[in-house]
Amino acid sequence: MPAVSKGDGMRGLAVFISDIRNCKSKEAEVKRINKELANIRSKFKGDKALDGYSKKKYVCKLLFIFLLGHDIDFGHMEAVNLLSSNKYTEKQIVSLSSRSSSRELFTLISLSEKWPEAFASEIPRILVAGDTMDSVKQSAALCLLRLNRTSPDLVPMGEWTARVVHLLNDQHLGVVTAATSLITTLAQKSPDDFKTSISLAVARLSRIVTSASIDLQDYTYYFVAAPWLSVKLLRLLQCYPPPEDAALRSRLTECLETILNKAQEPPKSKKVQHSNAKNAVLFEAISLIIHHDSEPTLLVRACNQLGQFLQHRETNLRYLALESMCTLASSEFSHEAVKTHIETVINALKTERDVSVRQRAVDLLYAMCDRSNAKQIVAEMLSYLETADYSIREEIVLKVAILAEKYAVDYTWYVDTILNLIRIAGDYVSEEVWYRVIQIVINRDDVQGYAAKTVFEALQAPACHENLVKVGGYILGEFGNLIAGDSRSSPLVQFNLLHSKFHLCSVPTRALLLSAYIKFINLFPEVKATIQEVLRSDSQLRNADVELQQRAVEYLRLSCIASTDILATVLEEMPPFPERESSILAKLKRKKGPGNLPDIDDARRNMIFLSQGSTPSFTDLLNLNSTPTAGASLLVDVFSDSSTLASVEVSDENFPRFVCKNNGVIFENQLLQIGLKSEYRQNLGRMYVFYGNKTSTQFLSFSSSVTCNDTLKNHILSTSSVDPIIEGGAQVQQILNIECVSDFTDAPVLNVQFRYGGTLQNIAVKLPVMLNKFFQPTEMTSQDFFQRWKQLGAPQQEVQKIFKAKHPMDTEVTKAKILGFGVALLDRVDPNPENFVGAGVIHSKNTQVGCLLRLEPNTQAQMYRLTLRTSRDSVSQRLCDLLSEQF
């Protein structure tokens, strides 16, 4: 930073503010702020003889950084010390324009670890006292808000709670704004205690929106009246259902209509600040309309307004419009209005450059899909899947599979769709998907012959995905006789086709093919000798897999000693799957004729829907507060009826899959599915845990708890309660609030206990709360990267690991994993274009740790070298261990 002279009016502060305003991205702003914080921290710690002017300058910079929304964890005592200065200008900085020094006291109370308990009971009294200055009321409200977030048990709930609601009528809009933030937070915890705030919030909102009163002049921002207060009032109203009072409801509707009308007016300024403020109020109003879901006219108008943003030049507006329309599509009042924008959404899928916007377009297509447009939407999603980013392919596959089944008027179309899905993205087709195909084919006589013919033709491709081989082996083993009359698909041709794939497959798939071969012996006696020779050869192989060898021996012996009748009985066609294995099947069998549709697994559909989006203000609109509907589970095992229960040992097999992603299924057995959806911002995180009952029987005495070792005890802030009874086929949700207090290695464990059929079930699952989840990506130039790299050159700051690649070395997959790990992927930084470099900052409550990483692949040797440098050795080692396992 440039040198500052005492007569220059704090030019250093002006330069710093100018630097921040000139930042072209959030990452650049964070980088500049971190640099300044490091400088200020060193000044406060290193130079004991700082004069009052210098302290004033640095406190001003800290105050500016704090106003930008960044946490400040030092400098408070230096600010208080300025109160003893003899110079008015230095006192003025601390008291913020001659306001009472109570403001600083409130700030210190909310930030100090020792003072909250001593002052917590006094703050509410000051807040509601009639003789308290406006500026002090404002500070008291914000102090209580901070206390409620950091030490909720210390905030007393008493008679003041009723009186604080009336601050919404205060003449000082600064007090109203602070009080609204406080009431919203408290109402989320105790809605009944603050229900009277609804009428006051509507009245205040009405005065802001429908009138141009003089008291708003000081709070008008680029021609938008009190946008921050408007947004906060609209969020407060989202804590409650629509008002029951007709007059109040009419007044609120008038406010919302006015906001929608103003959105159609020509802009009063070309400044970006004007459009930002105007759109912030508009989107929060639309959020309230969606939340109430009771006014058809408003819902349709909101949809039309969002439709105008779908082709807006601003990427953020396109993203938010798509995300909000996803929720509107689920409303019976606005679903048809959303469908009118299908061509625009499809065009966005094809031409949009931003991957996050493309993903929201996929989500919206999924949400607006119904019987009238299913084939068009599925075709477009399949087309996009071929070029989709690797990070979202699995989600798209699940959505296509669900839509294809739900709207399969013609099940030949369903079979074609799933086989096409496997061809395009076989690596992302989970077992549940191909299990479900087999389940449906077995239960529908009218599609069995077509399925056999289609998979036979698909298997003739030179390169087939292993999932296609699984489906082909199962279906031909069951229904190959339906196409055996054609010489082009004779029994021997079918067998040779399957066996040509045998040695290219994994052990589980080979085991499935051996089962198909023994089925062939029953269906086609003419190929018995040929298959027996293959079984004999496999049973005698040295170093063969034990499971395969045992199957070959048993199947060979069975084919030799069993009579034709016994063989036919043992190897008869699979019966329709009963309800105990799949309640979807029970619904399917009750349908008559191809015009009726089977129900899909609502619990799984909700899980997929809830995995959408990461924009915090809109994520909560995605059905997080609604009661999930009951539904059935997908088939777990099409070959065996295993009743083995999960061990009480901690299950961590899916833990590594969540290092680079936040959503998915963390645990599943025959009884229970546990899904996760997580969101992280700096040092805070929230994890939504979904428990799905896969049976048709109630779970009784259901409970869950999270256990941590001593170092993690303070990381889990709170957990919501779970209903002790989970109905068959139902899903319930639990929320975990997480804070990274300091760096850590171990992960918490989720313990689940319930009774099923009179038996107590105990399940323990390792939760994927990892250090890298608290990364904030940091953009850097090549010069800055390597300069910082040299600064972190101490031996204890670097961890390096050289290891063999466990997966194919795909450049796009590697990029997706590094981005999913949480750091910024820096292009054209490393002199070797084959290398990958990244940068980020780990945020914890107590500190921030910068991290630089460099991944050097050697495709010829199939090796990687991973190097991490951070300012803390324990962090370097942990991050290296987590990331290296992904490759």
pLDDT score of 497 more than 90: yes
Residue 382: inside a domain: yes
Residue 397 annotated as binding site: no
Residue 57 annotated as binding site: yes
Lowest mean pLDDT among 448-452, 712-716, 719-723, 861-865: 712-716
Same domain membership, residue 734 and residue 808: no
Q: pLDDT > 70: what percent of the chain?
A: 84
Whole-angstrom distance, CA of residue 242 vs CA of residue 260: 18
Token pair listed for 223:
């021609």
pLDDT score of 505 more than 70: yes
The mean per-residue pLDDT over the stretch 475-480 comes to 91
Residue 266: inside a domain: no
The confidence score (pLDDT) of residue 705 equals 85
The confidence score (pLDDT) of residue 591 equals 31
3-class secondary-structure state, position 749: strand
Residue 327: inside a domain: no
The confidence score (pLDDT) of residue 589 equals 32
Place of tokens 């109003």: 285
Residue 428 annotated as binding site: no
Whole-angstrom distance, CA of residue 785 vs CA of residue 854: 11
> Which segment, 4-8, 177-181, 350-354, is predicted with the most confidence on average?
177-181
Please report which confidence band the pLDDT of residue 458 belongs to, taking 50, 70 and 90 as the band edges: very high
Among 215, 304, 314, 320, which residue's Cα sits nearest to residue 257? Answer: 304
372-397 confidence digits (pLDDT tens): 899 999 999 999 988 888 878 888 88
Residue 526: inside a domain: yes
Which residue(s) pair with 224 in the sheet? 221
Choice between 401 and 642, residue whose per-residue pLDDT is larger: 401
pLDDT score of 815 more than 90: no
The confidence score (pLDDT) of residue 577 equals 61
The confidence score (pLDDT) of residue 184 equals 92
The confidence score (pLDDT) of residue 118 equals 62
Residue 353 annotated as binding site: no
End-to-end CA distance of the chain: 42
Lowest mean pLDDT among 91-100, 136-145, 530-539: 91-100
The confidence score (pLDDT) of residue 80 equals 67
Residue 618: inside a domain: no
Mean pLDDT, the chain, whole residue set: 79
Q: Which helix (H) or strand (E) holds 319?
A: helix 315-328
The confidence score (pLDDT) of residue 5 equals 37
Residue 43 annotated as binding site: yes
Q: How do beta strands 672-681 and 731-739 pair?
A: unpaired
pLDDT score of 285 more than 90: yes
pLDDT score of 3 more than 70: no
pLDDT score of 85 more than 80: no
The confidence score (pLDDT) of residue 117 equals 66
Amino acid letter for position 180: T
Tell me, rounded to whole angstroms, the distance of Cα 847 from its chain centroid: 25
Choice between 757 and 669, residue whose per-residue pLDDT is larger: 669
Residue 687: inside a domain: yes
Place of tokens 């007044």: 251
Same domain membership, residue 789 and residue 861: yes
Same domain membership, residue 451 and residue 406: yes
Residue 303: inside a domain: no
The confidence score (pLDDT) of residue 205 equals 93
Amino acid letter for position 873: D
pTM for the predicted model, two decimal places: 0.55
Residue 88 annotated as binding site: no
Same domain membership, residue 489 and residue 548: yes
Residue ending a domain, among 202, 227, 260, is 260
Lowest mean pLDDT among 284-288, 510-514, 716-720: 716-720
Total count of domains within the chain: 5
Same domain membership, residue 777 and residue 744: no
Same domain membership, residue 205 and residue 68: no
CATH number of the domain at 854, please. 3.30.310.10
The confidence score (pLDDT) of residue 641 equals 29
Choice between 719 and 62, residue whose per-residue pLDDT is larger: 62
97-147 confidence digits (pLDDT tens): 334 334 444 554 454 655 566 667 778 888 888 888 888 888 888 888 888
Which DSSP string corresponds to 546-559?
HHHHHHHHHHHHHH
The DSSP code for 830 is: S
Residue 420: inside a domain: yes
Residue 53 annotated as binding site: yes
Residue 303 annotated as binding site: no
Same domain membership, residue 379 and residue 232: no
Query: What are the backbone angles phi and psi of residue 878, rounded to the nearest 5°?
Result: -65, -45
Same domain membership, residue 122 and residue 39: no
Please report which confidence band the pLDDT of residue 84 belongs to, taking 50, 70 and 90 as the band edges: low
The DSSP code for 562 is: S
Choice between 256 and 75, residue whose per-residue pLDDT is larger: 256
Same domain membership, residue 155 and residue 202: yes
CATH number of the domain at 125, please. 1.25.10.10
Among 569, 590, 571, which residue's Cα sits nearest to residue 579? Answer: 590
What order do you get walking across the sheet with 650-651 strand by strand? 650-651, 759-766, 749-756, 700-707
Choice between 102 and 651, residue whose per-residue pLDDT is larger: 651
Lowest mean pLDDT among 60-74, 314-328, 508-522, 815-829: 60-74
pLDDT score of 634 more than 90: no
Q: Are 182 and 164 in contact (CB under 8 A)?
A: yes
Question: In 721-835, at which residue ranges do the beta strands (DSSP E only) sit?
Answer: 731-739, 749-756, 759-766, 775-777, 798-804, 824-825
Residue ending a domain, among 740, 769, 798, is 769
The mean per-residue pLDDT over the stretch 280-305 comes to 90
Whole-angstrom distance, CA of residue 807 vs CA of residue 790: 32
The mean per-residue pLDDT over the stretch 265-275 comes to 85
Please report which confidence band the pLDDT of residue 450 belongs to, taking 50, 70 and 90 as the band edges: very high
The confidence score (pLDDT) of residue 200 equals 93
The mean per-residue pLDDT over the stretch 550-559 comes to 88
CATH number of the domain at 393, please. 1.25.10
Tell me, rounded to whole angstroms, the distance of Cα 393 from its chain centroid: 15
**Domain span at 401:** 369-571
Residue ending a domain, among 37, 67, 98, is 98
pLDDT score of 369 more than 50: yes
Same domain membership, residue 777 and residue 759: no
210-246 confidence digits (pLDDT tens): 876 545 677 888 888 889 999 999 999 999 888 888 8
Same domain membership, residue 539 and residue 397: yes
Q: Are 459 and 501 in contact (CB under 8 A)?
A: yes
Same domain membership, residue 781 and residue 759: no
Whole-angstrom distance, CA of residue 700 vs CA of residue 658: 30
Query: What are the backbone angles phi and psi of residue 803, rounded to the nearest 5°?
Result: -150, 160
Q: Checking phi first, is residue 69 left (phi over 0); if not, alpha (psi -120 to 50) or beta?
A: left
Whole-angstrom distance, CA of residue 282 vs CA of residue 276: 10
Amino acid letter for position 396: I
702-755 confidence digits (pLDDT tens): 888 888 765 555 555 556 678 888 888 888 888 888 888 888 888 888 999 988
Choice between 674 and 641, residue whose per-residue pLDDT is larger: 674
Q: Checking phi first, is residue 758 left (phi over 0); if not, alpha (psi -120 to 50) or beta?
A: left
CATH number of the domain at 715, please. 2.60.40.1230
Which DSSP string corresponds to 695-742?
SSS-BEEEEEEEE--GGGTTTEEEE----S-B-TT-EEEEEEEEE--S
Residue 769 annotated as binding site: no
Q: Are 837 and 819 in contact (CB under 8 A)?
A: no
Please report which confidence band the pLDDT of residue 588 belongs to, taking 50, 70 and 90 as the band edges: very low
The mean per-residue pLDDT over the stretch 388-414 comes to 86
The confidence score (pLDDT) of residue 83 equals 64
